[in-house]
Amino acid sequence: MSKSPETKEISLQVDVNYMMSEYLGAREGISREEIQAKNQEFQEAVRHLKNKRSEMVWRDLPYNQDQVTEQIISFARQKKDACENFVVLGIGGSALGPMAVQQALNHLYYNELPKEQRGGWPRIYILDNVDPERFTHLLDIVDPAKTLFNVITKSGSTSETMAQFLIVVRLLRDRLGDAYKEHVVATTDAVKGNLIKIAQTENYPLFYVPEGVGGRFSELCPVGLLPAAMAGIDIKELLRGAAYMDQWIESKDEIWENPAYLRAVLHYLAYRKGKNISVMMPYADSLKYFADWYAQLWAESLGKRRTLAGEEIFAGQTPVKALGVTDQHSQVQLYTEGPFDKVINFLSVGQFRNSVVIPAGYEDIPAVSFLGGHTLNELMEVERVATEYALVQASRLNATILLPEVTPFTIGQLIYLFEVETAYAGELLKIDAFDQPGVEEGKNATYALMGRPGYEEARAKLNARPVKEAKYILKN
Ligand code: PA5
């Protein structure tokens, strides 16, 4: 991928100091000796992962999306002027990545800005639920005639997304007649599922989720690239950042030099010591939804009943989303004094896009006036350092990823880092990090209960489930 002249090579920094026994003591911390003792096992997992690279189609996305990227950019430019709103219909891996990237790279009140301050790009809404109120309320504020709906579903059959799609198509047809087709763009598998059939019959513009790319690993294909491009985000830089991280990871087999392997190993060892929870705590509102995206990636990939060999293990750390500094006033009490069952991951930002000075005032009240002359930027970082300090004092494992700046290039790195870290953690746990049988079961139960043909047997089984007893349901 070529590099535009104005871009800088800003690398993420992965800091694991406070995962180590030097700081946390032998009981809670992880020692170099512990890692060394399992070095053979860890290197074996590195080899496995490398051997499996060609099966992990998502790992090639930073390199093989050039053509589709051009198509997306040209499509986005073509639609830009007439489009006031861009609405994503999707859920899970078809929504969380787009949400995280929008929030990271756009103005934090992007939708409230006048169009010219959005660079002429439409407002972005990502409808990742089937809450009837949210759906109705969205339709209260967007005019379908000025809206482009991007229906995203890899499987082409997810009930939530297809229900949204049916509602939108009916609405558009009623309002716009045949012209409704100009207001739909589909992102789905090229062959499998129902959406592809509908899209081909009805002639919607189509972008494909490459074969073998699972939902939660799909941000760097049209699933994430189209919504990002529709908000004016530099998607080439996003991919270039991912490629940069890939090259870092691929060039270093040694655990201590490889950010994805090192973080995965430390989380794995922590998990083995009973740290069943992995908290993702960005200290930046722009990174808030990265915690949501990470939660799905970590939970769906690693939460598995069986190993690849079929043994029952019920594996997985539970991801928890938090936001600095907000959750210092909500969850940090638990993190410092509650059970020793967590690893806290901070995302910190070196240089925010804005700086806000706290003015002097109330000189007669030193407990207030001391803040004057500092910046909110300083306060944010100081509070993160203070939390880190409190955690270390309480012997709690924590690690930090620093984004020197939040740019498409560093966000591309972050996405790719977490994806490989998750894949490597899956290797260490000896589970399949790329399936989601538990989710499929829920999807199938929904089909059955909603009367989808072919699911009659499942429906009968579900209807025969134990009846809830009134004595356990309290009402006044
Ligand atoms: O990661 C996954 O595979 C899932 O979370 C899916 O993304 C989610 O279930 C939505 O599936 P689909 O894109 O097929 O509608």
The single residue listed with the structure tokens 């870290």 is 421
Ranges of residues in the chain with a pLDDT under 70 are: 1-8
Cis peptide before 325 (omega within 30 of 0): yes
Distance CA 462, CA 447 (A): 11
Cα–chain center distance at 253: 26
The confidence score (pLDDT) of residue 15 equals: 98
Give 439 Cα–ligand 1 centroid separation in angstroms.
9
Domains of the chain by residue range: 13-37+237-429, 59-233, 439-472
Ligand 1 pocket residue status of 106, Cβ below 6 Å: no
**Does the Cβ of 97 fall within 6 Å of ligand 1?**
no
Q: How far is CA 185 from CA 168, 197, 233, 235, 370, in A?
A: 12, 13, 19, 18, 54
Q: State whether the beta carbon of 301 lies less than 6 angstroms from ligand 1.
A: no
Is 329 a catalytic site residue? yes
Pairing of strands 123-127, 147-153: unpaired
Residues 26/34, Cβ–Cβ less than 8 Å: no
Distance of alpha carbon 366 from alpha carbon 167, whole angstroms: 59
For residue 96, how far is its CA from the centre of ligand 1 (angstroms)?
Answer: 10
**Is the CB–ligand 1 distance for residue 419 below 6 Å?**
no
The per-residue pLDDT for 6 is: 54
- The rounded distance, in Å, linking the Cα atoms of 144 and 7 is 37
Examine the residue annotation and report whether 300 is marked as an active-site residue of this protein: yes
For 354-392, write each residue's pLDDT tens digit.
Answer: 999 999 999 999 999 999 999 999 999 999 999 999 999
Strand partners, 344: 279, 398
| pTM for this prediction | 0.95
For residues 357 and 324, what is the distance between their CA atoms, to the nearest angstrom? 19
Classify the phi-psi angles of 274: left when phi > 0, otherwise alpha if psi is within -120 to 50, otherwise beta: left
CA-nearest residue, atom 8 of ligand 1: 92
User: Which parts of 29-60 fold into alpha helices (H)?
Assistant: 32-37, 39-51
Say which CATH class 13-37+237-429 falls into: alpha beta
Nearest CA to ligand 1 atom 2: 215
94 lines ligand 1 (CB under 6 A): yes
Task: Give the separation between CA 447 and CA 207, rounded to whole angstroms.
Answer: 26
Q: What distances in angstroms separate CA 81 from CA 84, 147, 148, 449, one per listed residue?
A: 8, 11, 11, 42
Among this protein's residues, is 468 annotated catalytic? no
- Distance in angstroms (rounded) separating the CA atoms of residues 266 and 256: 11
Q: Is 436 in the pocket of ligand 1 (CB under 6 A)?
A: yes
Q: Is 432 left (phi over 0), alpha (psi -120 to 50) or beta?
A: beta
Choose the catalytic residue: 300, 381, 419, 427: 300
Query: Which CATH superfamily does the domain covering 59-233 fall into?
Result: Glucose-6-phosphate isomerase like protein; domain 1 (3.40.50.10490)
In this prediction, residue 375 carries a pLDDT of 97
Q: What is the pLDDT of residue 7?
A: 53
Helix ranges (H only) for 276-432 are 288-302, 332-337, 366-369, 376-393, 408-429
Choosing from 329, 468, 471, 475, which is the catalytic residue?
A: 329
pLDDT of residue 2: 45
Q: How much distance in Å is there from the Cα of 218 to the middle of ligand 1?
A: 10
Amino acid at 18: Y
**What DSSP string runs through 158-187?**
-HHHHHHHHHHHHHHHHHHGGGGGGGEEEE
Sign of the dihedral defined by the CA atoms of residues 216, 190, 453, 173, in that order: positive
Contact, 77 vs 148, CB < 8 A? no
Q: pLDDT at position 443, please?
A: 84
Long-range CB contacts (< 8 A, 24+ apart) of 374-380?
A: 377/352, 379/325, 380/283, 380/284, 380/324, 380/325, 380/349, 380/352
Does the C-beta of 158 come closer than 6 Å to ligand 1?
A: yes
